[in-house]
Amino acid sequence: MSVVYNFDKIIERSHERCIQNKVDKSKQFPIRAIRGPQFSALKYKNDDMVKITRPFMEIIYNVLEGSGFSIYLSDKDGIVLTIIGDQDIIEAQAKVGIVLGADMSEESAGTNAIGTALYEDCSIQISGQEHFLRAFHIWTCSAAVIHNEDGDIIGCLNLTGRCQLAHPHTLGLVIAAVKSIENQLAVDKTQKELFNTNQYLNTVMNSINVGIITTDMNGIVTSINSKLCDMLEVKAEDVINKSAEEFSGDWSDLGGKLNSGKVYENKEAIYYGNDKKNRFDLSVYPIKNYSDTIIGTVSVIKDIKNVYDLVSKYTGMSAIYTFNDIIGESKEILELKELAKNISDSPSTILIQGESGTGKELIAQSIHNNSSRRNNSFVAINCGAIPKGLIESEFFGYEEGAFTGAKRGGHPGKFELASGGTLFLDEIGEMPLDMQVSLLRVLQEGCITRLGGNKCTIVDVRIIASTNKDLKKEIEQGTFREDLYYRLSVIPIYAPSLREREGDIEILIKHFLKVKAIKLGKPIPEVSSYLYKKLLNYTWPGNIREMENCIENIVNMDGDTSFGFDRAELNHIPNNMMRSESEYDMCTLEEWEQRAISICLNECKGNITKAARILGVNRSTLHLKIKKFQMKN
């Protein structure tokens, strides 16, 4: 905005424009005025400027009240938006059309302070005959253009009085007021931007699924999001402006760490404020001002359970198999699936027994994925693969400093990681006796205590155990606790071997040929009838695991029987593991039955109950058959 005190040339140019625009000097009013809804819409559009300018207009009027002046504000096109002044002056101006909505641009009102100032983008004073319209010769007007923070014209402030009151200081007063208005516009914009930024930040803070709290360097809380309020069971108004020491410990020490540049991330913190022991994952970051000085902290607090779930998701602690992945149509498999589906949502412990390779973990994962716990962790632990000295810390976790080599901040155990979900204890028969006592206590009490700790943490875990051992024999031998056995086998499930699944071997061969071909990027190979018969007649002591590896070998070798499984595997199978075609094709039905019973009893090591189940007869029938064929049991 330029300030001009020699206005002659500006006024001369303005008069020339008025003549070119054919403005009539004898006109008593401005040519144009906006009224009604159009004026209301225009005023609403300029509402921010009016609200900011009006108080300054009132200040000027308080100084000039009773001295014969009026102050009015126009928009960038010269339309009068608001007027303040002595009543007699306002009425006199109204007689010449200077009212709300009047168009004071040069095209409408000739040379006048508002119109000319807006056209020339300058501050100007026009008095008496310097006005183009004769009706305005009785007035003196001082106007200054209002700009926004980008330098664009948004309006004009004008001070009008009778011609004899003309004084250069009047223009100075208007210019000073406009400068204040422009400063306030910039402040107002900054405040609005700060408000909007704050709204964005609050919305972001309250929409994310982690707790956030900010403090000054004295540990006084300056903000807290709704998620953290929920986690800590507090209200924001009860926390803000109070010490945050209860959330994160020694804040002065924390401030020292941040000042020294040390990183404070992913530390386990314990909160006791709601009469509970809550574990959180805590990260704290410095807040710096424009001069790079730390002025506070922002803490990100995650529910440790959510952290565990995330770890589970990306470290394989999740169940991927469902009942659709259990392939087979035999009576044994269909009954197994039906039983497992029925008990999926039961909170009772499950004991899955069966030979190695029968798919016990697949069954466990399917049960988990068919239950209401499907969206939580599935944590598997092999009880026979963990060194005896580490098994307790693996199960229950440990606190910081619990033993030499313990991680800083402590470490959660498998029970904590599985809380809300399922814990699969594979090879439970391999668990040491002293650990069996601890496991039994957890199953009875529903809570765990970390090594080196003294606080009991409640865990909600569904236990599924599995073993390929006969646990009743282990109990007789003193290697497995009888009370733990009954605690685990509330729902017993038997995973049948391939030998017991009549008709499933062929189905599984076809399934694995297709699956392995896709995995290896190869076509499904043609398997010779000779090899196919061997596959069908083989007793598969390694069960599904053995078959899967065998079929992958065949697919790798493109079904060529001169390599791979045909020569390297089947040729080394003991005779008693291969069904002879002559055994089944060249004998009477009675001989066939006798041989089947003999082979089954031999494989089951004389276990009548197991053999009867495999043969599909009850125990009494099998005893009669043994007696009939004079077989030794």
Using H for helix, E for strand and C for coil, what is the string for 220-281?
Answer: EEEEECHHHHHHHCCCHHHCCCCECHHHHCCHHHHHHHHHCCCCEEEEEEEECCCCCCEEEE
420 alpha carbon, distance to own chain's centre: 19
pLDDT exceeds 80 at position 5: no
Provide the 8-state DSSP code for 403.
S
Would you say 80 and 74 are in contact if contact means Cβ atoms under 8 Å apart? yes
Q: What pLDDT is stored for residue 580 in this prediction?
A: 46
Last-in-domain residue among 254, 280, 304: 304
Give the position of tokens 């499950």. 350
The residue type of 386 is: I
pLDDT at position 260 over 70: no
State the average pLDDT over residues 601-615: 80
Looking at residue 54, its pLDDT comes to 93
What is the number of domains present in the chain? Answer: 4
Q: Are 339 and 332 in contact (CB under 8 A)?
A: no
What lies within 8 Å, CB to CB, of 207 at 6+ separation is none
Q: What is the pLDDT of residue 574?
A: 43
Residue 271 pLDDT greater than 90, yes or no: no
Higher local confidence (pLDDT), 162 or 312: 162
Cα separations (Å) of 427 from 67, 241, 299?
Answer: 102, 55, 43
Q: In the predicted model, is pLDDT for residue 489 greater than 60?
A: yes
Element (H, E) at 508: helix 504-520
Which token pair is 89? 């002056």
Tokens of 435: 């650990």
Q: Decide which of 567 and 147 is more confident.
A: 147
Residue 196, domain member (yes or no): no
pLDDT at 560 over 80: no
Please report the pLDDT score of residue 316 as a whole number. 46
Residue 451 has pLDDT above 90, yes or no: no
Look up the CATH number of the domain holding residue 386. Answer: 3.40.50.300
Give me the CATH number covering residue 148. 3.30.450.40
Q: Which domain holds residue 242?
A: 208-304
Q: CA angle at residue 513 from 512 to 517, to 5 degrees?
A: 110
Q: What is the mean pLDDT of the chain?
A: 83
> Which residues make beta-bridge pairs with 381?
425
pLDDT tens per residue across span 156-185: 999 999 888 878 788 989 999 999 999 999
Both 174 and 105 in a single domain? yes
The tokens for 42 are 């225009």
Confidence band for 1, pLDDT divided at 50, 70 and 90: very low
174 and 245 belong to one structural domain: no
442-460: average pLDDT = 85
Whether the per-residue pLDDT at 607 is higher than 60: the answer is: yes
Structure tokens at 82: 């608001």
Domain boundary among 494, 528, 560: 494
263-271 mean pLDDT: 66
pLDDT for 308 equals: 54
The residue among 275 and 60 whose pLDDT is bigger is 60
Residues 449 and 554 in one domain: no
**pLDDT classification of 376: cutoffs 50, 70, 90:** confident
Q: What is the pLDDT of residues 215-247, one digit of tens each?
A: 888 878 888 888 888 888 888 888 888 877 665
Contacts of 59 (CB under 8 A, 6+ apart): 177
What average pLDDT does the segment 359-369 reach? 94
Helix or strand holding residue 161 (H, E) = strand 153-162
Paired strand residues for 143: 124, 158
pLDDT of residue 192: 85
> Per the domain annotation, does 555 fall within a domain?
yes
What the block records as the tokens of 223 is 């903000």
* 3-state helix/strand/coil string of 318-385: CCCCCHHHCCCCCHHHHHHHHHHHHCCCCCCCEEEECCCCCCHHHHHHHHHHCCCCCCCCEEEEECCC
Instruction: Report yes or no on 201 lying in a domain.
Output: no
Tell me the pLDDT band of 251, cut-offs 50, 70 and 90.
very low
The percent of residues in the chain predicted with pLDDT above 90, rounded, is 42
- 297 and 328 both lie in a single domain: no
Tokens representing residue 95 in the block: 């007689």
pLDDT band at 272 (very low <50, low <70, confident <90, very high): low
Phi, psi of 231 (to 5 degrees): -65, -40
First to last CA, the chain: 114
Same domain, 264 and 186: no
Shared-domain flag, residues 219 and 262: yes
Is 355 domain-assigned? yes
Please check whether residues 613 and 473 belong to one and the same domain: no
DSSP-H helix ranges across 260-318: 304-314
CB neighbours (10 Å) of residue 272?
Answer: 10
Mean pLDDT along residues 451-469? 88
Do 420 and 540 lie in a common domain? no
d(CA 361, CA 379): 11
Verify that 30 and 169 share a domain, yes or no. Answer: yes
Percent of the chain exceeding pLDDT 70 equals 84
Pairwise CA distance, residues 631 & 620, whole Å: 15
Residue 267 has pLDDT above 80, yes or no: no
Separation of alpha carbons 367 and 344, rounded Å: 5
> For 242-260, what is the mean pLDDT?
55
Residue type, 464: I
Q: Who has greater pLDDT, 254 or 24?
A: 24
**How many C-beta atoms surround the C-beta of residue 256 within 10 A?**
11
CA dihedral sign, ordered 229, 233, 234, 235: positive
Which pLDDT score is estimated for 291?
84
**242 CA to centre of own chain:** 29
* pLDDT of res. 278: 64
Question: 333 and 434: one domain?
Answer: yes
Residues linked to residue 303 through DSSP beta bridges, in sequence order: 280
**CATH code (residue 527):** 1.10.8.60
pLDDT tens string 52-101: 999 999 998 888 888 889 999 999 999 999 999 988 899 999 999 999 99
Query: DSSP string covering 468-486, please?
Result: SS-HHHHHHTTSS-HHHHH
On whether both 34 and 181 belong to a single domain, the answer is yes
Q: Could you tell me which residues come within 8 angstroms of residue 481 by beta carbon, excluding any fewer than 6 positions away?
A: 433, 436, 437, 440, 475
Examine residue 387 and state whether it is found in any structural domain, yes or no. Answer: yes
Q: pTM for the whole thing?
A: 0.48
- Average pLDDT rounded to a whole number, residues 288-298: 83
**Is 199 a member of any domain?**
no
Structure-block tokens of residue 555:
């697919």
**The last residue of a domain, from among 304, 338, 364:** 304
The reply to whether 202 falls in a domain is: no
Whether residues 321 and 347 share a domain: the answer is: yes
44 falls within a domain: yes
Give the pLDDT of residue 222: 86
Q: How far is CA 274 from the centre of its chain?
A: 25
